[in-house]
Structure formats: structure tokens, C-alpha cells
Amino acid sequence: MQGNTLCRALRLALAFQALSLGACSSLGSDSFLTDNLVRKDQVQSVLERQPAQEICENSVPTGPIETTLCDYETVESVTDQLYADLHELVSKPFFKYFQADLYRECPFWPDDGQCNQASCSITSLDESDVPEKFRAKVLSQVSSVNEVHKLPGCYYRDTDFCYLDDDTEGEYYDLSQIPERYTGYSGEDARRIWRAIYEENCFGVSELNLMKSKNPAPVTLPDTMTDPFKDENGSIDESEQCLEKKVYYKIISGLHASISTHICYESLNKETGEWGPDLQCYVNRIASHPERLQYIYFNTVLMLRAVARLGPYLEAYDYCAFSNAEDDEDTLTKLNGVISTAQTVGRFDETVLFRGENANILKEEFKSHFRNVTRIMDCTGCDKCRLWGKVQTMGVATAMKILFELDETALNPNANAGLLTRQEVVALINTLHRFAESLYATNVFRELWQRTDEDESEKLISEAERAAKPRASPAVGSRFAPGGLWAHIFRICRESTMDCAGYIAGVWRDAVRTMQSVFAPGAKKQGPGFSTEL
């Protein structure tokens, strides 16, 4: 009781200090907790933050995560336990076996960027190693997929945000034996993958214009996700209603930032031959761009909300693998712990998205483009990267289907037992584990930063500045549809003359910067502003 009282007093004191200084002084404009672009002391704002270990009752949160109803402290207070539960859960038979077709042709360009390094290769399982009840042939007998749209080797249903591999194709993999880490897969092929993914940003939103919108108050949480767009009189500025745009971009960027974190967290030291965290890598890719860490928090909350909604369905699922009662009980115990955390922390109001007269058109555009993102994974030249790319894009797509397509009736396990395929459930939990590990890894990097002296830290920052790539926005419009860019420009110009002029000016500016970077010494090796290596 005494500790709780002290904690409340400390948090209230911090809140009072923030209010008295007008903008959350110590966690203000230079902190990654703000939703403005951090332009000063970026690395310090990320790595010198001390994450909350517990949330005190009646405390005032200092860091609302924009477009959610959650705050950073709440997520930080559950990170260790959430990661521990998920880390054990994904090692269980049900969640570690995943079937994927890694040899489907790339539908967008010649498949000419294969990684020949040993670190890119993975070994599949013999089907006999997989519990019989989890095999595709058995599952297809108890569940049928109706009303599907088929493509060679894959299909999707109208409710899906991703393409699913045909159950008759592909091989089985043990995800617990294939860690997602540095493989050496880089260069133009890796850059091409991420360029294509960002080009599937159907709204043309960039990191810069995403951050220009109004922010919620620095020390209060919004009551609804629309609160950040209200003016002083409580009315909503129509020009700021871009929730769907924000959500889409944050999902893509959060996934990219999380993958980058995993690569830095399990990196190969070429001098010692040992695997471990690479602080310089993290400073370069994440800490020097704090908004990217924001997007990892955002995606974690979104995934937790999906798990919370799916809770009754997950609790009713059959996870039994070998008729081992003790193992099955342990699986359910860890799963219930994750669901409980999700119900507490997963505060994301999906009901405010895709509303209005054009909601269905907007949602179909959203779906179509994210489906293409999942197909882009078939173009990845590294087998290990392709496998984890498929798992995580399917996991995020499953979360979006749960949030934006399914009502409470559909989520009822008694009325709709075949709602999700086993693959989708496995992908959902493994993807949440990936985001939780990214936050856990961030705390490890913070500890490493604390051990560096002033000279070392300055060297890390200087190297990050030297390695920084131009912050040009990813190209907009789809390269896969003829005239995609021009169609996008036409749509903007038809809706607003001012936006039209600004957009064209931005395209011209980016083109000039690109030309300058091409002819700059050594710049041909550089890619888009957000590191594009997997």
C-alpha cells in the first residue's frame, strides 16, 4: 500500500510538472512520446527513457499513443510478462508448426534476386513430424472454404485482408527453430521489396505528412479515437479526418520497424561469430527515428485489441497435439494470460473507422492494397525472410479482419467454429509475439546504452548521422497498375486544388532529391529514407 501511494504521488508530481510547463517538459517536444517529428536528440529520447514497470491507480499517463485509447506506460508495464507468456506459447506444438509455400512465383517482377547465403536458407519438416490433426489434409476434411477467389497456389475470401496459401501446396516449418534475425539479405533486391510495399500505401501518406496533424493533449488520453481531430470548440475539422490513412501507414511502418528491430537484436558479430544485439544497428534504424518506435507500440495495441475480441474463440479452440494433458493445460494457461493482458491493454476503437457513405469503397481499397503486400512476400529472395514475411503479414491481416470485418455474432465460437483457419490463428499469435519481442528488445538496447560512456555514445550517434539516408517519402501509387501515379494525382487534384498543387510540388521535390542522390558520391548504394533492408 505504501509503495502504491508513493508511486501515485510521483506520477501525479510528474503530471503537474508537465502541465505547469505547458508541454510535458521532460517528455515534451524532444521525446518519442510526442506525435510530432522528433528533430533534436532523437537517439537520446528513445534510449534514455526509463519504461514504466507498473501503472499506479488514478495516475495520469504521460504518453498517449495517437489513434488509440492507450498510453505508452500501460504497454510498457505489461511488456515483460506479455513477452514471457508469448515466448513460451509460440514454442508449443500448435503454434510452432506453420505451413507455407515458399516457392510460388513472384507475380510482379522476374524472380531474379535469390539470396545464396547459408543464413537465408531454412529446412522444412517431414509431414510425419507434424501432429496429424494439424496437417492440411485433416483440417480440410473438417472445414470447407466457400466463396473464395482463387489464384495460382493461393486464394482469398471477401473478408480477408491477405492471400492465403492453398492447403495442398507448401511445406511445414517449425517456427521455433527458425529465428527471425540478420541474414545478410540486403542490396537492391531487399530495397525493391520495401519500395513495393510502401507503394501499396493506397492513400499516398508519407511519414512527414502523417505527423503534421493535430495531436491529443500531451498528458491526457482521448475518450475516442476521433478526439485528436476536434478543435477547441469540440467540432471536427473535416480536413483532418484521415484515421484510415494514419492506421494504414502506421501498420506498414510499424511492421517494418519491428522487423528491423529483430535484425538488430539478433545480429551476427563477424569478428566473434556470436549472435547478439547490435546497438549501432538499432541506433541507425530505430532510435534515430523515434516515430518508428511509436508505430511498434501502435501495432502492439492493435494486435492486442484483435486478440481481446477473439478471446472466446481462442479459448474454445482445440490445441491438443499429443493427448498430453499437462502440456495442453500449460498452453491454455499461457494463452489465457495473453488474452487477459489483451483485454486490459488492447484499447483500440475500431468502430470509428470505415464510416460514412464511401466506407465500403475505402475498405475495399484498403483490403486490396494490403492483399498485394502479402503477395509481395512471394518476391523476397531470402527463404527465411520470406517465411517470416508471410507469417507476419498474415498475422496483421488476420487482426484487421477481426477488427474491421467481423461482428460479435461472427466471432461466436459456437455459431462459427470455422471462422479462421489454423494458419491464421498461428500467424496472429506469432506476429503479436514479434511485436512484443521488439518492445522487449528496445529495453535491452536501453540497458546497453546506459553502459556506454560519453565518447562511445557520441560515436554511435555520429555513425548514425553518417549512415542516414535521405528522408524522401516512398513513391506513391502502384507500380503494378499502369498509370497508378497519374491516377492518384488526378484523384487528389479533382478533390482539392490546394492539395493538388502541394502534392505535385512534393513529387517534383522528391524527384529532384532522388536525382541529386543518384549523382552524389556513393549515393547509388542508398535507398529510400526508411531503411529498406530486411
Is 7 tagged catalytic? no
Q: What pLDDT is attached to residue 317?
A: 84
**What is the maximum span of the chain, computed from C-alpha positions, in angstroms?**
66
Mean of the pLDDT values across residues 363-388? 92
Range of weakest confidence among 49-63, 195-209, 335-349: 49-63
Whether residue 511 has pLDDT greater than 60: no
Percent of the chain with pLDDT over 90: 37
Q: pLDDT tens, 159-179?
A: 898 988 877 778 999 999 999
144 neighbors 152 (Cβ within 8 angstroms): no
pTM, entire model: 0.79
In sequence order, the 6+-apart residues with CB closer than 8 A to the CB of 178 are: 122, 384, 387, 388
Question: What pLDDT was estimated at residue 176?
Answer: 95
Q: What is the pLDDT of residue 5?
A: 43
Residue 464 has pLDDT above 80, yes or no: yes
Report the alpha-carbon distance of residue 303 to residue 15 in Å, rounded. Answer: 29
Marked catalytic residue, from 154, 162, 385, 493: 385
Q: Catalytic pick from 56, 106, 202, 382? A: 382
Q: Point out the least confidently predicted range of 32-36, 242-246, 285-289, 463-467.
A: 32-36
Q: Catalytic site residue 385? A: yes
Decide: helix, strand or coil at residue 507: helix
pLDDT 10s digits, 250-307: 999 999 999 999 999 999 988 888 999 999 999 999 999 999 999 999 999 999 999 9
Q: Is the model's pLDDT at 80 over the cut of 60?
A: yes
188 vs 326, more confident:
188
Distance of CA 510 to the CA centre of its chain: 26
Q: Which segment of 71-85, 236-250, 302-316 scores lowest on mean pLDDT?
A: 236-250
User: Residue 307 and residue 404: Cα distance in Å, rounded?
Assistant: 13
Model confidence at 28: pLDDT above 80: no
Residue with cell 569478428: 271
| pLDDT value at residue 477 | 41
pLDDT band at 112 (very low <50, low <70, confident <90, very high): low
Lowest average pLDDT, out of 105-114, 182-191, 233-242, 312-321, goes to 233-242
Average pLDDT value for the chain = 77
Supply the pLDDT for residue 188: 83
Query: What pLDDT sits at residue 507?
Result: 53
Q: For the chain, which residues make up each domain, given as ranges?
A: 2-95+177-525
pLDDT tier, 532 (very low <50, low <70, confident <90, very high otherwise): very low
Q: What residue has cell string 503477395?
A: 375
Q: Which of 156, 134, 153 is nearest to 423 (CA)?
A: 134
